Structure formats: C-alpha cells, structure tokens
Structure 1
Amino acid sequence: MTHMVEVTVFASAALVMALVAGVFLAFSDFVMRSLRVATLTTGVEAMQQINRKVYGSVFLVGLLGLAPVSLGLAGYGVMSMSGPAAGWIIVGGLIYFAGTFLVTMLGNVPMNQRLDHMVLSAPETRDYWQVYARDWTRWNHLRTAASAIGSACLLIGLVLYA
C-alpha cells in the first residue's frame, strides 16, 4: 500500500471503531437501564424489536465489516510494518476482533436469539429478562471498551506511522 492509502485505511477503521463504541456506550449507559426499569413486557418487547431492526442497519455493516478489516490490519502490521506503529496497529485490530466481534457473536447474539423466541406473557420470560439484562449489559461493557481501545490503538499507530 502507498503511504496515503495506509493512513486512510487506518484512520477510517479507527473512526468506524469509535462509532461502534459510541453505539455500545449508549446501550451500556442508558438504554439498558431504561429498558430494565420499564414494565417487563415493554422492556422485553422493545429489546426484541431493537434486535430485529439492527439486522437492516448501517451499524451492523460497520460492526461486522470491521471484523475482517481488523484481522487484515493486524496481519498487515505483522507482515508489512515494523516499529512501534506496527505493534499498535496489530493490537488494535486484535482487540477489536476478539473483544467486539467475537464477544458479539458468542455472547450477545445467542442471548438475543433466545430472547427473540420468548413469549412476553410467559413466566420464564420474566426470569430470563433479569438474567438477560444483567449479562447482556456486562458483555456490552466489554464490547464498548474493546471498540474504544481498538480505535485508540489504531490512532496511536497512525500517529506514529504518519
């Protein structure tokens, strides 16, 4: 890659990671707290709808699109870069992939799928909602931090590289 293309790719990936972190932060900061204090059916139904609508969103393109990009950046850092900038690029890509993408696929998505199939008036829904809201939010805190830290690492790598 030419220097300008590299800088553009690093900066773009860092920006999208920061945007993903912002969405996750909103959920960790106030969306899930609001849904937890709403009536059971309101909170569950709202989260079911959010989880259904995310599939057609620009957010999902960024979240999932960054998975191969982050691995590609880490690989590029290993194969084609040297010095401190390479380390920051590698770490940023790997943190995003493991802490955001893998946590989403292995933690949050299975919980979303289970919630989606629950009947609002069923007693097991009430019991699961308490577990869901607590555990889903914990996983989301991790995704928030990983996205933000991944973005920061890419920016530090970019500054050192540029």
Structure 2
Amino acid sequence: MEWILMIAGLAVALVAGVFLGFSDFIMRGLAQAPANQGAAGMVGLNRTVYRSVFMVLLIGLAPVSGFLGLLALWQFEGAARALTLAGVVAYLIGVFAVTGMGNVPMNTRLEAMDGQTRETASYWPRYAQRWTRLNHARTVSSALAALCWLTAAQIV
C-alpha cells in the first residue's frame, strides 16, 4: 500500500510545483503586461492547460484521493490513517474544490470577454489579484497533501 501513497504523493508534488510557478512568477509576469495583453496571455494558458499532463494529474488525483480515503479508513491505523485523510481533505477541498469553484469560473469569465477591450482592462487587475490568492491556497494545499501522503507512505 505504501507504493500507492508514494506515487500519489509524487504526483501531487508535481501539481504543487506547477501551482508554485504560477504563484511565484507567472502571474506576476502577466500582471506586469498591459491589461489586455496579460489577459490574452492568461486565456492562452487556460486554453492549453486542458490538453496537458498537468490536467490529467489534477483531475486524476480526485478519484485517487477518494480511494486513498477509503484505504485509510479500512486498512490504516494511527498516524498513517490521520496523515492520509489529512492529505485527502487538503487535496479535495484545498485544490479540487478551490479550482472548480474559484479559478475555473474566473477563467471562464475572462475568456468570455475576448475582444471586449474596456471590460477586459477593467476586470484583469481584480482577476489577477484574486486568481493568484486562490492559487496560493492551491499551492499550499497540494504541497500539504504531498507531504502527508509521502510521510504516511513511510510509516504504513
């Protein structure tokens, strides 16, 4: 069972790395561009992410999290159970729910503004600030899930 936790922990660590890149420098770089250019860059990134390995990991880790939660309840005890379940909660709420209820709707709204220069210029600064804050939460949550699952793998 430790190999499942190890693979899931490494996969979510990769997700955390992508989120960290956005929080650390990608969003800051886009925010420095003129509003319509920064927004256009973000729309382009959002369009390409749907056909990426990152998206496979992001979505694929949701059912994996559910499986790990059941595994923890049925097979693990003590610290291994607690760490595994903490990682599940961190991923499902702090990554998956934040993405689906926060970042994705903002991305959809930004893309719908395509060609509306004044509206985009007005929305972009608020978008960049709020989207980045939500991304910070996803970064911390995915790193926490990785830490929990990798630690649990060592004590199972």
Length-normalised TM-score, structure 1: 0.93
Amino acid corresponding to residue 61 of structure 1 in structure 2 = V
- How big is the alpha-carbon RMSD for the aligned residues of Structure 1 and Structure 2? 1.0
In structure 1, what is the equivalent of residue 31 of structure 2? 36
* Structure 1: segments with no counterpart, 5+ residues: 1-5
Deviates more, 1:135-144 or 1:69-78: 69-78
Partner of residue 93, structure 1: 88
Task: Give the whole-Å Cα distance in 1 for the aligned partners of 2:97 and 2:114.
Answer: 28
Asked if 1:156 corresponds to 2:151, the answer is yes
How do residues 6-85 of structure 1 correspond to structure 2 at under 5 angstroms? 6-85=1-80
Aligned length: 156
Q: C-alpha distance in 2, partners of 1:40/1:121? A: 12
State whether residues 93 and 150 of structure 1, in contact with CA within 8 Å, keep that contact through their aligned partners in structure 2. yes
Secondary structure in 2 matching 1:56: coil
Q: Report which structure shows greater RCO (CA 8 Å, sep ≥6).
A: 2
Please tell me the residue identity of whatever aligns with 2:37. Answer: T
Which amino acid in 2 is paired with 1:153? Answer: C
Q: Is the 8 A contact 2:80 2:153 kept in 1?
A: yes
Work out whether residues 74 and 91 of structure 1, in 8 Å CA contact, stay in contact via their aligned partners in 2: no
Shift of 1:121: 4.7
Partners in 1 of 2:90 and 2:35 — Cα distance? 35
Q: Sequence identity of aligned pairs in percent?
A: 45
Tell me how far apart the structure 2 counterparts of residues 16 and 75 of structure 1 sit (CA, whole Å): 19
Please give the TM-score of this superposition, normalised by the length of structure 2.
0.96
Matched, 1:104 2:118: no
Conservation of the 8 A alpha-carbon contact between 1:17 and 1:147:
yes
1:61-101 deviations in Å (ceiling 9; x for gaps): 00010011112101210122112111111111121111001
Q: Tell me by how many angstroms 1:50 deviates.
A: 0.3
Is contact 2:23–2:135 with CA below 8 Å preserved after alignment?
Answer: yes
Query: What secondary structure is seen at the aligned counterpart in 2 of 1:119?
Result: coil
* 2:140 corresponding residue in structure 1: 145
Report what 1:3 is aligned to. Answer: none
